[in-house]
Amino acid sequence: MSIANSNVAPAATAVPTSTDKAAMAMVTTLFFMWGFLTSLNDILIPYFKNIFSLSYSGVMQVQLYFFLSYFVFALPSGKLIDWIGYKRTMVGGLFTMGAGALLFIPAARAASFPFFLAALIILAAGMTALQVSANPYVAVLGPEKTASSRLNLTQAFNSLGTVLGPLLGGLLILKAAPLALDAVRRMSQVEYREYQLQQASSVKLPYLVFGLALMVLGLVIAKFKLPVIAAVEPRGEVHDSVWKHRRLLLGAIGIFMYVGAEVGIGSLLINYMSQPNIGNISLQLAAKFVSLYWGGAMLGRFIGSAVLQKVRTGTVLGLSALVAFVLVVLSMVSFGHLAMWSILLVGFFNSTMFPSIFTLSIEGLGPLTDKGSAILVCAIVGGAVIPKLQGVLADRIGIHHAFILPALCYLYIASFAFKNNKPHSEAPAHS
């Protein structure tokens, strides 16, 4: 791919009238990989909570630092696209992710929670570069009217990764049954250290394989000829400001709320379902149920890809957010299997939210698409802030009622959806 900057227009194809299926298939593999690795955080949270004897608030540092990386690295990733283009940014992101995954090995040898967090930050930095480059690229890889449908389809494979992640992670990482907290507290300092090292060793092989797989995929993408699309590559000097586009800014808040709600729910599911008054099941079995949460999102995205060919994006998004709100509240006011299955079903209605908010927000940005994408990916920091706050609530008012926070997030998303349901061409300027 030609190197792109703000003053030189690369050789680019016109805005496509049909979808490039080969390029779609190749870029879709990126969505799968970052979905797979992101969902492993849901396994790492109970894993670290056990090894390092952390509170809910303390262990939510996993999501805090992971998603804070999106905020830190999103705008630099947008600049990187200006310098080297979309394809090379994707390749660089994959290699950075691979390096972060491989750093889990020395972190496990040291049994150090800060070292694990550092590895996660590096992995998330690479993932940020992928998100900033791949999401808008898919959105304009075909006709604008089917952008939401296309992005939902790729997000469906992202969800396939989030389904397989907890299944494989639960099998490989949570394979050793944790000791009860009282038994851990009775250990001597030497025994406790040996216990930490033994438990931490279970991540070495999985993350070695993940790291090498990411680097191989980076080499494959580097060799593949992805088309350069005019709609996403900078073309000459741009005088408009991305900050003047109100719909984009409201959409960024929507992304913040959505990612925060989805991650907040997913992060606490294993501990929530293992509660005696909810599911009363083991952590290992709960990890398998987490796959149903993400599996619902995958199923919903395949269905949503077809529905969005016929129904307005804002309508689908608004209705999905309202149903998600009702399900979260139902789980909060109930117990047993009703509470468990209603919270798991939220995953299905999460399905179309990210791609729908994303495409509604960047619609009509033209040469500002890369900058708009960077702002939206910055907003993924909601996955750091809201789960952390939810962890604080879980420590203070109980895990059951801490779900009030994602419920409020879904109300905002519904409001954004219905207020921005008109196509961009029918909306007022900068709205």
Residue ranges and CATH numbers for the domains of the chain are 21-230+242-421 (1.20.1250.20)
3-state secondary structure of 13: strand
Residue 372 CA to residue 248 CA, distance in Å, equals: 7
Q: What is the pLDDT of residue 120?
A: 93
- pLDDT band (50, 70, 90) for residue 64: confident
Closest CA to 66 of 141, 131, 156: 131
Residue 142 CA to residue 221 CA, distance in Å, equals: 20
Closest CA to 109 of 119, 122, 99: 119
Q: What is the pLDDT of residues 180-222, one digit of tens each?
A: 556 666 777 787 788 778 777 888 888 999 999 999 999 998 8
Residue 35 CA to residue 43 CA, distance in Å, equals: 13
Q: What is the pLDDT of residue 179?
A: 55
Residue 374 CA to residue 134 CA, distance in Å, equals: 11
Closest CA to 217 of 321, 90, 318: 90
Q: What is the pLDDT of residues 320-337, one digit of tens each?
A: 999 999 999 999 999 988
pTM score over 0.85: no
- pLDDT band (50, 70, 90) for residue 302: confident
Q: What is the pLDDT of residue 195?
A: 77
